[in-house]
Amino acid sequence: MEDDFQKIYRWMHEPHVIPYWQLNLPKEKLKKHMKKASTDSHQTLYIGFINEDPMSYWEAYWVQGDIVEKYYDPAPYDQGIHLLIGDPSYLGKGLALPLLKEMAAFQFKWSKTTKLIAEPDHRNEKMIHVFEQCGFKKEKKINLPDKTAWLMFCEREDFEKRCRDE
């Protein structure tokens, strides 16, 4: 976290990130939030790189133990995903879908995981479209404490079939 905090802070203050993450906090408050997130045993935080250049932030989490478990009946090994492309120079280059596919494939390496979930902000039409292209399907709108979101599911079978067919 020490190595990555400055870039995460910068990314959380980018205009394309602020409306959907709402973590454009003062440094000390964000540092406290990120420290808590990085020590939360039900999730793992990642920085995504392209050619050794940090450009994205990812959270992979177990649904059980997360607030979203209250909105459907999760299986014990369902996993969720949060992501953002932080560096604006990487926006509009068609990278979100291949990056999401790689992260989904990574999460499905856990053999007991049969479903991935996402809950993008209902206004974030670009990311909802990317999730759909990756095989996620809208289940229902949910009201989380910080946003109204689409609860989306990606079943392992559908994901693997989609990847084989491409």
* CB contact at 8 A, 84 and 96: no
Distance CA 121, CA 131 (A): 12
pTM: 0.91
Give the pLDDT of residue 94: 94
In the chain (166 residues long), the average pLDDT of successive 10-residue segments reads 89 96 96 92 93 95 95 97 95 94 95 97 95 96 96 94 73
Give the pLDDT of residue 56: 96
Which of 80, 84, 71, 81 has the alpha carbon at shortest distance from 19?
Answer: 84
Which of 80, 164, 72 has the alpha carbon at shortest distance from 115?
Answer: 80
Looking at the DSSP assignment, which residues form a beta bridge with residue 82? Answer: 59
User: Which token pair is 100?
Assistant: 């999401």
Give the pLDDT of residue 166: 65
Give the pLDDT of residue 110: 94
Burial class (CB in 10 A: 0-12, 13-18, 19+), 51: exposed
Q: Which CATH superfamily is domain 5-165 in?
A: Gcn5-related N-acetyltransferase (GNAT) (3.40.630.30)
* CB contact at 8 A, 114 and 75: yes
Looking at the DSSP assignment, which residues form a beta bridge with residue 60? Answer: 44, 81
Give the pLDDT of residue 2: 75
Distance CA 114, CA 107 (A): 10
Q: Where are the domains of the chain?
A: 5-165
Instruction: List, as one string, the DSSP characters of 2-48.
Output: TTTHHHHHHHHTSTTTHHHH-----HHHHHHHHHHHHT-TTEEEEEE
